[in-house]
Every structure is written in structure tokens, then in C-alpha cells.
Amino acid sequence: MVIPVFNEEESLAALHAELVEVARENGYEIEIVFVDDGSSDGSWSEIERLAGEDDRVRGVRFRRNFGKAAALDAGFGSARGEIVFTLDADLQDDPHEIPRFLEELNGTDEADSLDVVSGWKQVRHDPWHKVGPSRVFNWLVGFLTGVRLHDHNCGFKCYRREIFDEVHLYGELHRFVPVLAAARGWRVGEIVVNHRARQFGHSKYGVARIVKGFLDLLTVCFLTGYGRRPLHLLGTLGLIGFTLGGFGVMVLSVWWIASRLDGGVENNLHLHERAIFYYSMGALLLGGQFLSVGFLAELMTAFYGRESSSYSIRQTTSEPS
């Protein structure tokens, strides 16, 4: 269990008790990793107390607040189990849903098994100004990436540990782990989970989350679609701009020559007095820039891309003895 913590002192003991109860009832061996993301209250003292009383609890403490993605990445690096859960520390995620996650993850056989199971808070106990933008965001993510989950923002998720050997988090990409995993061939699904009303503290997200989420979505679309072939996107945009600009300049040049031959210069505007001239030149310059950046991106990908593979191996046959 990887649990980011930011000023959650009041809820940690109750969450720990629930996780231990679920593990005892179902016979699970668990490890709980609390990652203190620069809390200013007594969260770290509470984590130290829980770790001292229960050797299944470990804590990681940041020097300052680095964000949820960094906290999860640190937790994934510390986790040693084959299956990794993520859930929030505010008690809104219900630990009693864990057996249902595992049932969905394992399936009835190998063909039905999954690699990522995401929670879907179908009935949410959040204010409307948080629910509304979230639904629009989820639809947009599904439309642009093809990974259609009802609730990409839900922090309650279950993963196979191997995923994080290939998917690395930075910035605010934690909500896009299913998308990044699906792009490498991992199988993704979701289940409806119980979402409980907040008991302590307040929401950490505001209006700025919408802007950051949209920019991160653009990043993910580029990484999953063109991360290994950036020229396909940038070059296409560059060729479109270059073609439109070149066509515009060619038409204007023909018009200019024809007007000279007809002797009607006095009744026509000069090239630099026509708006289409500046649009055409702008398209030419922009197209050239896109092509140049695309070639540079291809060079960087070819040079640095050697360090990581663009594929994901599911299994291999045993080698002959």
C-alpha cells in the first residue's frame, strides 16, 4: 500500500487500523508505505509511531512538498510487494474494497486478468465544482488517448509491480499511469468503489488543477503517440504550414506578375498591402520552425532513446538447458 500523506495526522491511525483489519480478515501479507510529502502538522510523528508499533509500516519523508506524483514515485521505489495499491490518506477511499480489486486483477483465468485496476467513484461525496470539471476531464482523456475510464482522477488503484519498471512518474502524471501503461500494452480495467465523505481536513485541489491537468494531458498524448517519433507530429504540422504558405506566396506572385503585364498597377494594392501576404509568410516561417524542431527532436530521440526500450515484453519461453 503506497499512501501519499500531506497534513493527514488525524486520519492515519484510523486508516492503518482499517488496512490491518482487511489484511487479517482475508489472510493478506501487506506492507504499508506512508510517504510524507512535506507535511507541516504532526503527520510524520504519527507515521513514526505506527512504524514503531507495526513492522509492516514504513515511512518516507520529503524535505518539502514535491507533489503527489513524486510521493507515489518514491513509494513505488520503496514497495517490495508483487501488487501495489495506491490510496489517499483522507479516509475517503474504503480499504474494504481491496479484495474486489484483487478479484478483478486476477480474473477467472489468465485471459481475463488485468495489470491495472482503477477505481471509479460512481457516487461521489465531493462539491459540484470538483465533480463537474472532473467528468469533463475524464471524457477528454478517454477521447484523446483511447483509454476510456470513468474516473482517471481516482487515487484508489491497483497495479502489478512490474509496471513501474517501465512507467516512471514526474510532474503531475500520476493520474495518467493507466494511460501510460496501456500505451505499452498493459491491460487496464476499472471497478466501482465506495467513496466515503471526508472526515478530516479539506481538499488539496483547486481551480489550478484543471489547467495543470489539461497541460499534462497534452504531454501524455504526445508521449504515448509520438514519444518515439516526434517528427511525425511536428513534421506534419510543419509541412501543412509550409505548403499553405508556399501556395499563398505562389498565388500572390502570379497575381503580381499578371497585374504588371496588364498595366493595372495603379488600381491594385501592392503585395505588402495585402493581409494574405503576411499570413502566407507567417505560415512559411512557422512551417519551417516546426520542421526544424521536429528534426532536432528526432536527433535527441535517436541519441537518448537508446537508454530505454520502446516495447514491453510480457513473457518468454524458457531457454533450453
Last residue of a domain, one of 165, 197, 226: 226
- Residues 220 and 236 both lie in one domain: no
| pLDDT for the residue 49 | 94
| pLDDT for the residue 20 | 95
Count: domains in the chain: 2
Report for 46-50, 126-130, 229-233, 313-317: range of highest mean pLDDT: 46-50
What would the mean pLDDT of 282-304 be, rounded to a whole number?
Answer: 82
- Residues 189 and 240 both lie in one domain: no
Q: What is the 3-state secondary structure (H, E, C) of the chain?
A: CEEEECCCHHHHHHHHHHHHHHHHHHCCCCCEEEEECCCCCCHHHHHHHHHHHCCCEEEEECCCCCCHHHHHHHHHHHCCCCEEEECCCCCCECHHHHHHHHHHHHCCCHHHCCCEEEEECCCCCCCHHHHHHHHHHHHHHHHHHCCCCCCCCCCCEEEEHHHHHCCCCCCCHHHHHHHHHHHCCCCEEEEECCECCCCCCCCCCCCHHHHHHHHHHHHHHHHHHHCCCHHHHHHHHHHHHHHHHHHHHHHHHHHHHHHHHHCCHHHCCCHHHCHHHHHHHHHHHHHHHHHHHHHHHHHHHHHHHHHCCCCCCCCCCCCCC
Residue 213 burial by Cβ neighbours in a 10 Å radius (0-12, 13-18, 19+)? buried
Q: What is the pTM of this model?
A: 0.74
Residue 181 has pLDDT above 80, yes or no: yes
Domain that holds residue 70: 2-226
Confirm whether 321 is domain-assigned. no
- Residues 144 and 183 both lie in one domain: yes
Mean model confidence pLDDT for the chain: 83
Last residue of a domain, one of 226, 241, 257: 226
| pLDDT for the residue 111 | 76
What would the mean pLDDT of 282-290 be, rounded to a whole number?
Answer: 89
pLDDT band for position 14 (50/70/90)?
very high
pLDDT band for position 209 (50/70/90)?
low
| pLDDT for the residue 17 | 95
d(CA 94, CA 96): 5
Residue 241 has pLDDT above 80, yes or no: yes
| pLDDT for the residue 54 | 93
| pLDDT tens figures, 68-122 | 888 998 898 888 889 999 999 989 999 999 999 999 999 877 778 899 999 998 8
- Residues 150 and 280 both lie in one domain: no
